[in-house]
Every structure is written in C-alpha cells, then in structure tokens.
Amino acid sequence: AYDVLVVGGGPAGASAAIYAARKGIRTGIVAERFGGQVNDTLGIENLIGVKYTEGPKLAASLEEHAKEYNIDIMKAQRVKSLEKKDLIEVELDNGAVLKSKTVIVTTGARWRNLGVPGEAEFKNKGVAYCPHCDGPLFAGKHVAVVGGGNSGIEAAIDLAGIAGHVTVLEFMPELKADSVLQDRLNSMPNTTVLKNAQVKEITGTSKVDGISYIERESGETKHIELQGVFVQIGLVPNTDWLGDTVERTRTGEIVVNNHGATNVPGVFAAGDCTNSPYKQIIISMGSGATAALGAFDYLIRN
C-alpha cells in the first residue's frame, strides 16, 4: 500500500506527488493524461519565475521533475471510484484496486464548451477560456465574452480594461451575474451587452475574425467582426466519479479546508477540482503542495 496516492497528473497532482515523495514516504500517482489541462495551453506567461513557456513543454517538465523522485507513476489510467475501508481503496477502470493510507484527489476541471462551429478550430487562435491567461493578447482589440453569469461578467470587466471593446452575449433574456457586477460593467464605456443572443458560429480563416449569433426574439442572424471570443459558460470539475463518498458543492467542487483536507479522514484534494477560488497553474501547484503537507501531517498523527 502507498502512504500517499495522488489521483490526477496536472500541476496540482505533480506538485502533490513531489512534495510527498520528498518526505521519503511511499508515493504513487495515477493519471489519465499527465500534464492535464496544461497540454491544451499554448503560451503560458503567468507562471511566476518562468517568463514564457508552452503547455506541452511544461507538461513534459512536470513529468521529468516527478521522475527525479521515487514515485510510482501510472499513466493512461482512469480512476472510477474511491472507498474508505481500513485503507483508502481506489479502483481503476481496468478493475485494478490501489490501496493507500491517504489519497490526494487532483482530477481538475474542464471548461464547458459552446459546441458551435469554429470553437474547436480556433482554440488558441482567438478562442480563449481564461481572461487572466489570455486577456493581454487582446490589448486594444474587440472581443466577445459568451456567458452572462458571474464569471462571464467578471471576465468582461477584466477585459474591458485591456481590450478596445467587449461585447457580452447571453442566451437568456437576463444576465445571471450579481447586480454589483452588472452595474460595474454598465459603467464602463467600451462594453455592450446582448441578451437573448444564441451564438451560432465563430468565424475566421487562420484566426478568429467574428462571431455570428441568432437574435432569439426576431430569429435574425447577426454577425459582429472581432478578434477574440472568451467562452465563460461554466467550469465543470472532474469529480462525478466520487459520487457521495466525499463532500462536494452543488456544482461538484470538492470541499477542502485550508490544509487541503476533505470531510473524509485521509482524503485530501487540490487544484481545479476543489472549491478553492481562481483556477490557475500556480494556484494548483500551491494547493497540491498544501495537500501533500496536510497528508504528511495526517500520517504522522495517525
């Protein structure tokens, strides 16, 4: 059995495994895709201390760093359940069961996609999901934010300070964001809000050059020329596999305390799959370290 078994191999999982292994305890990491979301990222400019890197390069160096330690790395393996018995048992899709005294869940999240033509094609070519990451690429340009919930309106306010113009498109007749955010957005001169607007297509040739939407009231299709589209229709944590074993929020985020501990003794969590705010690489790495130190603390007390 392991002392610490990390589920997930993104920035949070790699960090948790390295911190655990550095304590000289038996550490394993099981992941479907090592590197996680980082694999899908082009330029990364906000990993402090690294001026610029690219997703696949960072993913490779996370793995290289983990390999420096005595860590059992199990790649291309999907976990399907977790059960607390004497030890914590983690079952893989292939039926194998891994046992550990503590488990750190770092299965991350995924941005909900719009699913319209052009979205996948122009990902990283004008289609973006993270205003903190990619906002500065659109300085002075016209961008759209799709989604009028809190994250959409926060993104629009953030982008309005950088971009030339920001157009928000919301499917419903009203924005769902808090009214203080809506007021803030409305006070910014370079913003437009379109409600009852159904995005139909993101257009472009080598990169985004516009967005087409259906004005739901009239049924008419309209087109706006712009250079960027930020999709903000929700972040979905990869936690369904946990079922009711661990406490999660209404949206599925694992509830953790400031030591990374969940409500189940010995089960910790870190990164985008938790209810900690702001989903970023550096934050995931930090919370992975916290969870590993939390697990170590738990091990020496139990």
- 46 counts as binding ligand FAD under rule CB under 6 A: yes
- 78 counts as binding ligand FAD under rule CB under 6 A: yes
Distances (CA, A) of 79 to 75, 146, 165, 270: 11, 33, 44, 16
Stretch that binds ligand FAD, among 136-144, 190-198, 244-252, 273-281 (CB under 6 A): 273-281
Structure tokens at 59: 């993913």
Residue nearest ligand FAD (C-beta atom): 108
**Residue 174: strand, helix, or coil:** coil
In the block, residue with structure tokens 């979205």: 119
- 58 counts as binding ligand FAD under rule CB under 6 A: no
- Minimum CB separation from ligand FAD for residue 215, in Å? 29
Stretch that binds ligand FAD, among 37-45, 150-158, 164-172, 257-265 (CB under 6 A): 37-45
x/- mask, ligand FAD, residues 125-154, rule CB under 6 A, reads ----xx--x---------------------
> Whole-angstrom Cα distance, residue 26 to residue 210?
52
> Whole-angstrom Cα distance, residue 25 to residue 176?
47
- Minimum CB separation from ligand FAD for residue 145, in Å? 16
Which residues within the stretch 165-224 sit at the binding site for ligand FAD (CB under 6 A)? Answer: none
- 102 counts as binding ligand FAD under rule CB under 6 A: no
Structure tokens at 182: 């809506």
- Minimum CB separation from ligand FAD for residue 24, in Å? 24
What are the backbone angles phi and psi of residue 300, rounded to the nearest 5°? Answer: -75, -10
Residue 31, H or E segment: strand 27-31
**Residue 228: strand, helix, or coil:** strand
> Whole-angstrom Cα distance, residue 131 to residue 167?
14
- Minimum CB separation from ligand FAD for residue 188, in Å? 24
Spell out the long-range contacts of 212-218 with Cβ–Cβ below 8 A and sequence spacing 24 or more: 213/169, 216/171
Give the residue with the Cβ less far from ligand FAD, 163 or 175.
163
Distances (CA, A) of 291 to 194, 295, 299: 42, 6, 12
Write the Ramachandran bin of 33: left for phi over 0, alpha for psi from -120 to 50, otherwise beta: beta
Give the residue with the Cβ less far from ligand FAD, 2 or 111.
111
Stretch that binds ligand FAD, among 7-15, 158-166, 217-225, 294-302 (CB under 6 A): 7-15
Which residues within the stretch 223-242 sit at the binding site for ligand FAD (CB under 6 A)? Answer: 238, 241
Q: Which of 40, 89, 91, 247 binds ligand FAD (CB under 6 A)?
A: 40
Give the residue with the Cβ less far from ligand FAD, 108 or 118.
108
